[in-house]
Structure formats: C-alpha cells, structure tokens
Amino acid sequence: MPWFRKKKGKIEPVSDKDRVVRTENVFVRCDECGAHLYKKELEEALQVCVHCNYHFRLGAYDRLEQIFDDHHCEELDEEVVSTDPLNFVDSKPYTKRISQAQRATGLPEAVITARGKIGGHRVFAGAMDMNFIGGSMGSAVGEKITRLIERAIGERGAVIIFAASGGARMQEGTLSLMQMAKISAALAALEERHLPFISVLTDPTTGGVTASFAMLGDIIIAEPKALIGFAGPRVIEQTIRQKLPKDFQRSEFLLNHGMLDAILDRREMRPFLIKSLDFMMNPDLTEKSQLSSLKFQVADLRT
C-alpha cells in the first residue's frame, strides 16, 4: 500500500487508518526457535523451518499430496467413518466429538487412505492426522488401514503408512484395541505375498499404533525429533520414579538404539521412498527374505 496518494492534483499523506499493513496469516512463528516465517516460504519448504529444521505437523491430505506422482492420488474408503457402538459419554457424547472433528478438520476420519503412483510404482498409502481426535485409532481407522493393505495384496502394490497418533481411541474401548491385531494380521498376509510395507513415524506416534503396525515395517523411518513410544515420558517417569535420559523417545534416541532404520528430513522423503520402492518392487526379488538386505542398504538409499 502506498504511503502517499494523489488527490485533486495534490499529493497527500495516507491516514493512519488507511496505512494499516495487514499481516494476518502471512507469517508463522516457529515453535522451536521462535523465528517468524513467511507462510509461502514455509509451504515451499514442506512445512520445515528454514532456520532450525523444525518439522511442523502436517495434515493427512498435505502429506499424501507431497509423495504421490504429480500430487495426484485416488482417495479410498472415505465412506468408512466412526460410529458409537458403546454410546460413550464423557464431558460430551462421543457422536458429538466425531461430528465436531469432521467439521473442524474437513476429514471423514483420523486416517486418509489413497491409491496412486510413486516413482511409477503402484502404492497404497495412508496418512494419520493428529487434528482428528488426536489421530486416535478406532474401529473405522482400523478398518480403513486393513482395507488398504488388502487392496495392496489384490493389486500387487506396496503399502506406505504415515503414523501420527495418540494411540487407541478410548471411546471405543476394547473394539479399538482389537484393531491392533486386525491390522497386524493383514500385514502378515502382505508379507506372505512378498509385498513391501514402509512405515513412516511422525510426531507423535504413541500408544497402540506404536505397539502394532507402526513398528512392523520392512523399513521404519522417522522425521527428526518425532516423539515415538508406547507410554509418554511423563507417565514413565511417574511410574519408575526416575529421571529419563535427555531426548528419550525422540527419533534420534530410537535410531541410536536400533529401533529405526533412518531419520529423514521431510524434503528428502519422496526421493528416499522412490529409491526404496525401486529396490523393493524389483521383480528379481522373488523371495521376501531378500528384502532383509535392505536393512543394510538404507544409508546407500539416501545418497
């Protein structure tokens, strides 16, 4: 906006009221280093701080858009949504929580599943979203992920799942816990067909999701400084009455203790996935056991 304007042949100062510079939704503050980031620049960096490399949390649709060829994929099973089998009520009815989450996020459920191509390979991918009731895994989430795996088996494709969850959804009780075994059984069938599963752990991946499919990948990778574990660090400290090591349950800690194969900057994710799929979907690999050799080649895939 100009600080001066022409009026009736004369140049007059713009009033203070007219001189307001609108910056709403233009800058975003980094939670890690406090820098104010230009929103467009942050989007171009895939929501990674250009100053400290802090990885902002991503929505499910944004995450899938970043990995598929031409940013295009076909959403699957969007009609599968949560119900209220237990008529659960805490501070509000569970049905109201579901409808509020759907309106606030624009998502049908805490996971979005899709079919598409990555580097020319047929891939069935799922992405969880923390904004939908904490990314919790209920019956609908378990059903969508299981169907995703079964479609991959039927169409001979790879499975990639981006985990981001607080764990099983307490409003569905044991029904939510059953999804851990259900998904794990589907992954066992995927393994029998010699098809790959790549698990990507993002901040946070906790509870029943960590205790089931998130840690069952042929390759398990994570984003920097992601919180990964079963119980949270505060719960563990209160239980064992000891101070935990620095950065306990962060992805770097897990990598050092052999729980992960790699930690990847989000901007390296798609190239790494393509190289992994080039190897794992190689028709010469007739035996699933041969995929275990990939564990010793992860460093090579990043170069």
Q: Which domains does the chain have, with CATH numbers?
A: 19-56 (no CATH), 58-301 (3.90.226.10)
The Cα 8–Cα 120 span in angstroms is 63
How far, in Å, are 60, 135, 281 from residue 123 at the CA level?
16, 22, 10
Please state the pTM of the whole predicted model. 0.86
Is 299 strand, coil or helix?
helix
Give the chain's length.
303
β 121-128/158-165 pair status = parallel
Confidence of residue 22 (pLDDT cuts 50, 70, 90): low
pLDDT at 301 over 80: no
How far, in Å, are 5, 37, 103, 296 from residue 200 at the CA level?
55, 26, 27, 18
Q: What is the pLDDT of residue 232?
A: 86
pLDDT at 14 over 90: no
Return the amino acid letter for 198: I
Q: Which tens digit of pLDDT belongs to each residue from 86-114?
A: 999 999 999 999 999 999 999 999 999 99
Cβ 201 vs Cβ 165: under 8 Å? no
Q: What is the pLDDT of residue 25?
A: 74
Confidence of residue 120 (pLDDT cuts 50, 70, 90): very high
Cβ 63 vs Cβ 55: under 8 Å? no
Q: Which tens digit of pLDDT belongs to each residue from 197-225?
A: 999 999 999 999 999 999 999 999 999 99
Q: Which tens digit of pLDDT belongs to each residue from 162-202?
A: 999 999 999 999 999 999 999 999 999 999 999 999 999 99
**Cα 226 to the center of its chain, rounded Å:** 11
The Cα 47–Cα 58 span in angstroms is 7
Q: Write the CB contacts of 256 (distance below 8 Å, at least 6 apart in sequence).
A: none
Q: Which tens digit of pLDDT belongs to each residue from 28-66?
A: 999 999 999 999 999 999 999 999 999 999 999 999 999
The alpha carbon torsion through 267, 269, 271, 273 (nearest 10 deg) reads -170
The Cα 282–Cα 299 span in angstroms is 19
The Cα 7–Cα 293 span in angstroms is 75
Confidence of residue 286 (pLDDT cuts 50, 70, 90): very low
Cβ 94 vs Cβ 102: under 8 Å? no
Return the amino acid letter for 130: M
Return the amino acid letter for 51: H
Q: Which tens digit of pLDDT belongs to each residue from 253-281?
A: 999 999 999 999 999 999 999 999 999 99
Place of tokens 């800058």: 27
Q: Write the CB contacts of 191 (distance below 8 Å, at least 6 apart in sequence).
A: 197, 288
- Could you give the angle at the alpha carbon of 133 between the alpha carbons of 79 and 182, nearest 5°? 60
Place of tokens 């759907």: 102
| Token reading at 39 | 């929103």
Q: Write the CB contacts of 69 (distance below 8 Å, at least 6 apart in sequence).
A: 116, 117, 118, 119, 120
Q: Which tens digit of pLDDT belongs to each residue from 2-13?
A: 444 444 444 455
